[in-house]
A and B are shown apart, each in its own frame.
Chain A
Amino acid sequence: MAKFETPFLDQLETGPWPSFVSDLKQEAESRAKNERNIEYQIPQDCCDDLLGVVELSYKHGRTHWKHGGIVGVFGYGGGVIGRYCDQPEMFPGVAAFHTMRVNQPSGKFYTTKFLEDLCELWERRGSGLTNMHGATGDIIFLGTTTEQLEEVFWELGHNLNQDIGGSGSNLRTPSCCIGQARCEYACFDTQDICHDLTNEYQDELHRPAFPYKFKFKFDGCPNCCVASIARSDLSFIGTWRDDIRIDQKAVKAYIGGEFPPNAGAHAGRDWGPFDIQKEVIDLCPTKCMRYEDGKLEVNTPECTRCMHCINVMPRALRVGNDKGASLLVGAKAPILDGAQMATLLVPFIKIESPYTEIKETVIEPIWDWWMEEGKNRERLGELIKREGFQKVLEVTGFKADPRMIKEPRSNPYVFWKEDEVPGGFKRDINEFRKFHQR
């Protein structure tokens, strides 16, 4: 028997899409029955109380959660988000209902054994409710009491060899696309560098020392499946420098209709027979392709590697062999000064373990500058706007390159540095007056 009536939420149980309400109800029921004889370490009816509090929000049109103040695990400044209900008497089971961010494995592959271990722990010491996964990438453990935080952390570490993730003004849990594990487009091993940097920078991840959050994200190709270009302070996007590899026989097979265009992505509608001129050549943004005498040619120096032709004909076209990544800096969501897309800083760099060049010439100089100059709650992208892109070049040592801009400046207001102007800024007015009367 349900603890609370939930007439609003019940209306979200119908319809074809999976209902989170039904799932929450089944968890409430499972806890009430407790067929596994679990010694629940937080209130057994917490899921009932969550149903109650969410129902109340549906009635009021307002949230009933308060921000949690300072809770966490000893020695870490992140990974736990405090959360308290503003109606604790009505819903004692969720009076304190904190979130723990558990650092996901790169690429989000799992064995059922490991997932079961996580479930067993979280059912016993928490609500049994999760997010698979949070927006940044972590496994989210949703809802436990303050006294269980250290216990969960202890068991994660000692029994599962597993750490929690980042929150607050620190390195946020890095995340990556599926990469070379199961994608033919990936130009570098996104999972390996994601894992490597996560471990290299554990201190930055757990102990807030930054002006604000900092995100790394790794996309294996310019399709950008993890949106690194839109939401990471340092975005890695796979690319290549040599020719797109072309299998002319497979090109003909697309033209002949043997292979479906775009790997079958458009199979649901009759778009007519595949037309390589209309669908590939004419849509190429740089017009660097042509199909003549039964042969497809790409003028490589003119190609900007946008992926359109490769996406349309994955069996005929493959990314080149000289692979690496472009590095872009400063993306962020709109708050405060409007959204920023990441800006190209390094057109091409090889992504090879142990990634020393990236750490020493990109990441650490940028962090040093941002920690020195960044204001409280100023994202890297905002600092770059405030101090100018030239400053990034100065701290990293990369040379200015037209690839970094859309167009040159349309105002001539260059702030010259003194050492760029012969003779410097100091001049003798009396010497000047010898030739120019007052």
Chain B
Amino acid sequence: MAFISSGYNPKKPMENRLTDLGPRHFAEFYPPVVAKNKGKWLYHEILEPGILVHVAESGDKCYTIRVGGCRFMSVTHIREINEIANKYCDGHLRFTTRNNIEFMTDKEENVKPMKEDLLSRKFAGGSNKFPIGGTGAGITNIVHTQGWIHCHTPATDASGTVKATLDVLYDQFTDMKLPAKLRVSMACCLNMCGAVHCSDIAILGYHRKPPMIDHEYIDKMCEIPLAIAACPTAAIKPTKIEIGGKELKTVSIKDEKCMYCGNCYTMCPSMPLADTEGDGIVLMAGGKISNRRDAPKFSKVVVAFIPNEQPRWPTMTATIKRMVDAYSKDANKYERLGQWAERIGWERFFEKCELEFTHHLIDDFRDPAYYTWRQTTNFKF
């Protein structure tokens, strides 16, 4: 493994340095049918789950096959995607916001062989490489975060919980039988770099124990004031303790003020918080981002905690499945999960989804909490 220089000279970092180039221009990558008809599309139709046609004013058609992808993806897998795009799509493709891959072609005759080709490809372990679906009144790909693959504050794994969930909800990805679309999202800690807080169903990793403190190392490894400043609830204070006759500068944590976010750990490696029993899953439900019919909504916490049951999280997936089935059975056409819950009432939602309502689900976090309590006698028995 000999080092090969790119041309960068560490002794003269500014020599021939290129900065602030920004991204490549999007128009370089448009398929010709997109370049020609941009801004002049008339309508679209879902021909079958995962297969769309967009029709332009010119009469041109763009056929799209949407396949689910793991957002975690190797170059070997990307090259296989390239091979397919070269074969059927003249070397063009795109990714969606929800980590799906879209193969586009203006040639109708390419759709069927491409579909068969995509469906025939399996990973060595047996799973599908390119499931077709994710359109219409169903579930599309679950957006997610890094989890145990690459993050320092996760309370659960992201790729694994998503794989387990999508295996259970696979039919809803490939058919369109739900009352409306249902968006499931996953974030592996409450910092939510995945912004799951407006999803029909959100899977959220959650810690339940305040960080431990490595008293003997903290002053050497951390800028203590930075760790203190990082705490969103001001739960951390500077303090001194005596260990082995030596006085050490350290911090103390007011446990009841800690919200387990791990921000202090980001600043200071001497404050780890991961814990096998403490960590697990929160389920939230009823959010949406679309303005369709009513305003976007936040997801609400409907299950305060499910332990991590890796590798397949059976309690979590069964609970999600129960919610999806109850929604599918009971909601009206076009009704999103949150709209359904509001129509029938949350008391009914818990009943129909067979979820236990516990005190954890009543908001007590700062002012907005009050607005979520019931100030009327209108409720259902």
Interface residues of A (CB under 8 A from B): 8-27, 30, 39-41, 43-44, 47, 50, 54, 57-58, 60-67, 74-76, 83, 97, 99, 103-116, 118-119, 122-123, 125, 128-137, 142-143, 147, 150-155, 157-158, 160-163, 175, 177-178, 180-184, 186, 189, 191, 195, 198-199, 202-203, 206, 222-227, 229-231, 237, 259-260, 262-269, 271, 279, 283, 285, 305-308, 311-312, 314-315, 318, 333-339, 341, 376-377
Please tell me if B99 contacts chain A, counting CB pairs below 8 Å.
Answer: yes
Selected interface stretch from B22-30, B250-258, B348-356: B22-30
Please tell me if B6 contacts chain A, counting CB pairs below 8 Å.
Answer: yes
Residues of B within 8 A of A57 (CB): 148, 157
| A307-B291 contact given A61-B308, A103-B23, A260-B45, CB 8 Å threshold | yes
Q: Is the CB of B152 within 8 A of A83?
A: yes
In the complex, 28 of the A-B residue pairs with CB atoms within 8 angstroms, ordered by the A residue number, are: A15-B164, A18-B69, A20-B163, A39-B1, A60-B276, A61-B310, A75-B19, A109-B29, A111-B29, A115-B78, A133-B71, A133-B99, A150-B13, A178-B94, A180-B38, A184-B42, A189-B39, A229-B289, A229-B291, A262-B334, A263-B45, A264-B47, A268-B175, A308-B334, A333-B196, A335-B232, A336-B232, A341-B198
| A262-B170 contact given A132-B78, A163-B20, A279-B333, CB 8 Å threshold | no
Measured in the bound complex, the distance between the Cα atoms of B57 and A136 in whole Å is 33
Q: Is the CB of A230 within 8 A of B198?
A: yes
Measured in the bound complex, the distance between the Cα atoms of B103 and A115 in whole Å is 14
Query: B82's closest neighbor in chain A, by CB?
Result: A112
**Contacts A62-B275, A83-B152, A135-B195 given; 7 further ones with Cβ under 8 A?**
A8-B311, A13-B125, A15-B127, A108-B96, A163-B22, A182-B34, A336-B261
Interface centre among B136, B150, B368 (most CB of A within 10 A): B150
Residues of A within 8 A of B6 (CB): 125, 150-152, 154-155, 158
Residues of A within 8 A of B105 (CB): none
Sorted nearest first, the 9 A-B pairs with minimum C-beta distance are A13-B125, A265-B136, A15-B167, A22-B123, A268-B176, A27-B74, A57-B148, A157-B18, A222-B291
Residues of B within 8 A of A157 (CB): 18-19, 21
Query: Smallest distance from the beta carbon of A341 to chain B beta carbons, Å?
Result: 6
Q: Is the CB of A269 within 8 A of B176?
A: yes
Q: Is the CB of A109 within 8 A of B334?
A: no
Measured in the bound complex, the distance between the Cα atoms of B308 and A287 in whole Å is 47
Residues of B within 8 A of A182 (CB): 34, 38, 41, 54, 62, 64, 104
Interface centre among A112, A125, A263, A266 (most CB of B within 10 A): A112
Q: Is the CB of A128 within 8 A of B75?
A: yes
Interface centre among A109, A155, A271 (most CB of B within 10 A): A109
Measured in the bound complex, the distance between the Cα atoms of B92 and A102 in whole Å is 19
Q: Is the CB of B290 within 8 A of A222?
A: yes
Measured in the bound complex, the distance between the Cα atoms of B81 and A116 in whole Å is 10
Query: Smallest distance from the beta carbon of B89 to chain A beta carbons, Å?
Result: 9
Q: Is the CB of A18 within 8 A of B20?
A: no
Selected interface stretch from B186-194, B319-327, B373-381: B186-194
Please tell me if B112 contacts chain A, counting CB pairs below 8 Å.
Answer: no
Measured in the bound complex, the distance between the Cα atoms of B76 and A264 in whole Å is 35
Q: Is the CB of B128 within 8 A of A109?
A: no
Measured in the bound complex, the distance between the Cα atoms of B369 and A337 in whole Å is 11
Measured in the bound complex, the distance between the Cα atoms of B83 and A429 in whole Å is 86
Q: Is the CB of B1 within 8 A of A264?
A: no
B interface SS class: loop
Q: Is the CB of A12 within 8 A of B312?
A: yes
Query: A336's closest neighbor in chain B, by CB?
Result: B232
Measured in the bound complex, the distance between the Cα atoms of B94 and A14 in whole Å is 27
Interface centre among A58, A189, A265 (most CB of B within 10 A): A265
Q: Is the CB of B82 within 8 A of A184?
A: no
Q: Is the CB of B44 within 8 A of A263?
A: yes
Measured in the bound complex, the distance between the Cα atoms of B131 and A130 in whole Å is 20
Residues of A within 8 A of B198 (CB): 227, 230-231, 339, 341
Residues of A within 8 A of B4 (CB): 39, 41
Query: A103's closest neighbor in chain B, by CB?
Result: B23
Query: A239's closest neighbor in chain B, by CB?
Result: B291
Measured in the bound complex, the distance between the Cα atoms of B70 and A423 in whole Å is 67
Count of CB-CB pairs between chains A and B under 8 Å: 442
Q: Is the CB of A108 within 8 A of B170?
A: no
Q: Which of B142-201 contact A (CB under 8 A)?
A: 143, 145-154, 157, 159-160, 163-164, 166-167, 170, 173, 175-178, 181, 190-198
Q: Is the CB of A15 within 8 A of B163?
A: yes
Contact of A58 among B26, B41, B160 (CB under 8 A): B160
Residues of A within 8 A of B359 (CB): none
Residues of A within 8 A of B151 (CB): 63, 65
Q: Is the CB of B136 within 8 A of A267?
A: yes
| A67-B292 contact given A19-B123, A267-B136, CB 8 Å threshold | no
Interface string of B90-116 (1 = CB under 8 A from A): 011111110101001000000000000
Q: Is the CB of A109 within 8 A of B92?
A: yes
Q: Is the CB of B94 within 8 A of A107?
A: yes
Query: B197's closest neighbor in chain A, by CB?
Result: A339
Q: Is the CB of A223 within 8 A of B25?
A: no
Q: Is the CB of B94 within 8 A of A20?
A: no
Query: Smallest distance from the beta carbon of B142 to chain A beta carbons, Å?
Result: 9
Interface centre among A44, A155, A191, A335 (most CB of B within 10 A): A335
Query: A339's closest neighbor in chain B, by CB?
Result: B197
Query: A165's closest neighbor in chain B, by CB?
Result: B23
Contact of B22 among A103, A152, A377 (CB under 8 A): A103
| A63-B292 contact given A110-B92, A122-B75, A227-B198, CB 8 Å threshold | no
Please tell me if B240 contacts chain A, counting CB pairs below 8 Å.
Answer: no
Query: A406's closest neighbor in chain B, by CB?
Result: B295
Q: Which of B1-20 contact A (CB under 8 A)?
A: 1-8, 10, 13-14, 16-20
Q: Is the CB of B289 within 8 A of A110?
A: no
Residues of A within 8 A of B275 (CB): 62
| A181-B95 contact given A130-B74, A150-B8, A336-B232, CB 8 Å threshold | no
Measured in the bound complex, the distance between the Cα atoms of B2 and A150 in whole Å is 16
Residues of B within 8 A of A16 (CB): 127-128, 131, 167, 170
Residues of B within 8 A of A198 (CB): 22-23
Contact of B163 among A17, A66, A177, A237 (CB under 8 A): A17
Q: Is the CB of A263 within 8 A of B29?
A: no
Q: Is the CB of B298 within 8 A of A339?
A: yes
Query: Smallest distance from the beta carbon of B118 to chain A beta carbons, Å?
Result: 11
Measured in the bound complex, the distance between the Cα atoms of B28 and A112 in whole Å is 12
| A23-B163 contact given A12-B311, A225-B97, A285-B293, CB 8 Å threshold | no
